[in-house]
Amino acid sequence: MEERGHIEMEIIPSESHPHIQLLKSNRELLVTHIRNTQCLVDNLL
């Protein structure tokens, strides 16, 4: 599923849409935080 999202992101040229670049960077930060939270929860269980 991540591969499909990666391919979809490549279709949109980020140079012509600065808000797309901002959304992509925010998405990456959100995914990182979710993974970190998941690791913390896994370690607590």
DSSP structure class, residue 4: H
Range of the domain at 24: 19-44
Is 8 among the domain residues?
A: no
Mean pLDDT of the chain: 77
Is 34 among the domain residues?
A: yes
Is 9 among the domain residues?
A: no
> What whole-number distance in Å separates Cα of residue 12 and Cα of residue 30?
20
Mean pLDDT of 14-42: 87
Looking at residue 16, what is its pLDDT? Answer: 62
Is 6 among the domain residues?
A: no
Q: Which two tokens stand for residue 2?
A: 């991540």
Please answer whether residues 19 and 26 qualify as being in contact, where contact means their C-beta atoms are separated by less than 8 angstroms: no
pLDDT higher than threshold 70 for residue 34: yes
Is 11 among the domain residues?
A: no
Mean pLDDT of 7-14: 54
Looking at residue 1, what is its pLDDT? Answer: 45
Mean pLDDT of 31-37: 92
